[in-house]
């Protein structure tokens, strides 16, 4: 069993600070550990343990999952459940464990979407894999145009009312759909806690108004919803490895996955090089500045990062040491940023 760092909550540059989530009593570390990539059967359990325990030792208490994280789907929850059972046994009440349901998980008409049957069945399966009686946050992972929001929000309310989740959230909903979801939730007595959208220097869709006339950040600020951005490093694009414009062997872009080779475009690489110069002048790596920038506005409670090694994790967590920007830096960053075409979830949720 792991013996955590006794100073993990001290006010120290080594430890990650916290922000309150919207109007709630819950606080999250400004940097959370996501288990979307590098968890499951494709990675040794020992390496997964190293990442989770290193994060916990530095004050990271929030671990973000979904039913389909792996590979294969479900295996990330199983791995994390094993770490909870062994190394983190006795520390459950210090942890915030979140999971989601919405994307395809099993065959047939009840294995994806926003129906009551799918969401609650999936939550029960997630709890079984995790070995938990409840998760802290349960998300609707995507907007489902085929299911009334009354049903999806009602399923989230049942999850909370039954004690299977402490809080409810939504992920990748557009500003318009978030307003609709919030109104439905308020009407049935469900307190939506948090929204999890993709957000990075090269993927700023949450700042742009949609048909509602409001941006997602405006909506979340108005309704006092917390925001937790995922993929602040654009799946690794906002790191030093792509500055040459080449795709390194063993990188995510070299694999056949969610990172498309076309993301390493001339336009994106040109932006990376300018951003890297700004980061260097700040005394940060490009990855660190990208994370810090995503947290510059306190409407964003936290960002979810992944890592392959504890060295990468430490670099990412060190971004929390420098969260402020001068007006000149922000102006230079805005001038360098381009829309990198990185919101691969848009057609399945945020554009609906």
Model confidence over 78-119: pLDDT tens digits?
999 999 999 999 999 999 999 999 999 999 999 999 999 999
Q: What is the mean pLDDT of residues 154-167?
A: 98
Secondary structure string (H, E, C) spanning the chain:
CCCCCCCCCCCCCCCCCEEECCCCCCEEECEEEECCCCCCCCCCHHHHHHHHHHHHHCCCCEEECCCCCCCCCCHHHHHHHHHHHCCCCCCHHHCEEEEEECCCCCCCCCCCCCCHHHHHHHHHHHHHHHCCCCEEEEEECCCCCCCCHHHHHHHHHHHHHCCCEEEEEEECCCHHHHHHHHHHHHHHCCCEEEEECECECCECHHHCCCCCCCCHHHHHHHHCCEEEEECCCHHHCCCHHHCCCCCCCCCHHHCCCCCCHHHCCHHHHHHHHHHHHHHHHHCCCHHHHHHHHHCCCCCEEEEEECCCCHHHHHHHHHHHHCCCCCHHHHHHHHHHCCCCCCCCCHHHCCCC
Residue 190's pLDDT is: 98
Residue 348's pLDDT is: 81
Q: What is the mean pLDDT of residues 248-254?
A: 58
Of 268 and 129, the one with more pLDDT: 129
Model confidence over 17-39: pLDDT tens digits?
999 999 999 999 999 999 998 89
Lowest mean pLDDT of 61-75, 132-146, 245-259, 297-311, name the range. Answer: 245-259
Instruction: State yes or no: pLDDT of 263 exceeds 90.
Output: no
Lowest mean pLDDT of 180-189, 250-259, 319-328, name the range. Answer: 250-259
Enumerate the domain spans of the chain.
18-236+294-309
pLDDT-above-70 percentage for the chain = 95
Q: What is the mean pLDDT of the chain?
A: 94
**CATH superfamily ID and name for 18-236+294-309:** NADP-dependent oxidoreductase domain (3.20.20.100)
Instruction: State yes or no: pLDDT of 242 exceeds 60.
Output: yes
Instruction: State yes or no: pLDDT of 248 exceeds 80.
Output: no
Instruction: State yes or no: pLDDT of 173 exceeds 60.
Output: yes
Instruction: State yes or no: pLDDT of 182 exceeds 60.
Output: yes
């Amino acid at each position: 069993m792991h013996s955590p760092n006794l100073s993990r909550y001290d006010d120290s540059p080594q430890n990650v600070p916290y922000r309150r989530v919207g109007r709630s009593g819950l606080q999250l570390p400004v940097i959370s550990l996501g288990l979307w990539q590098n968890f499951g059967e494709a990675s040794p359990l020992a390496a997964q343990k190293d990442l989770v325990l290193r994060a916990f030792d530095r004050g990271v208490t929030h671990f973000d999952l979904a039913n389909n994280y792996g590979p294969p789907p479900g295996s990330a929850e199983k791995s994390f459940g094993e770490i909870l059972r062994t190394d983190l046994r006795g520390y459950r009440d210090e942890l915030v464990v979140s999971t989601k349901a919405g994307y395809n998980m099993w065959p047939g008409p009840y294995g994806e979407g926003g129906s009551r049957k799918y969401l609650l069945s999936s939550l029960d399966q997630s709890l079984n894999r995790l070995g938990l009686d409840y998760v802290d946050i349960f998300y609707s992972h995507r907007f489902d145009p085929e299911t009334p929001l009354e049903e999806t929000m009602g399923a989230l309310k049942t999850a909370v009312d039954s004690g299977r989740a402490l809080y409810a959230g939504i992920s990748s909903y557009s500003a318009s759909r978030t307003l609709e979801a919030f109104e439905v939730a308020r009407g049935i007595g469900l307190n939506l806690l948090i929204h999890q959208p993709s957000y990075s220097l090269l993927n700023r869709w949450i700042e742009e108004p949609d048909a509602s006339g409001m941006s997602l950040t405006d909506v979340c600020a108005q309704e006092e919803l917390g925001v937790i951005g995922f993929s602040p490093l654009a799946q690794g694009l906002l790191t030093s490895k792509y500055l040459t414009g080449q795709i390194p062997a063993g990188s995510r872009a070299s694999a056949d996955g969610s990172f498309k080779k076309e993301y390493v475009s001339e336009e994106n690489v040109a932006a990376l090089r300018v951003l890297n110069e700004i980061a260097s002048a700040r005394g940060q790596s490009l990855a660190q500045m990208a994370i810090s920038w995503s947290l510059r506005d306190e409407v964003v409670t936290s960002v979810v990062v992944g890592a392959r090694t504890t060295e990468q994790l430490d670099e990412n967590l060190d971004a929390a040491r420098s969260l402020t920007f001068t007006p000149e830096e922000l102006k230079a960053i805005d001038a360098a940023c381009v829309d990198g075409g990185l919101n691969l979830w848009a057609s399945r949720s945020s554009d609906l």
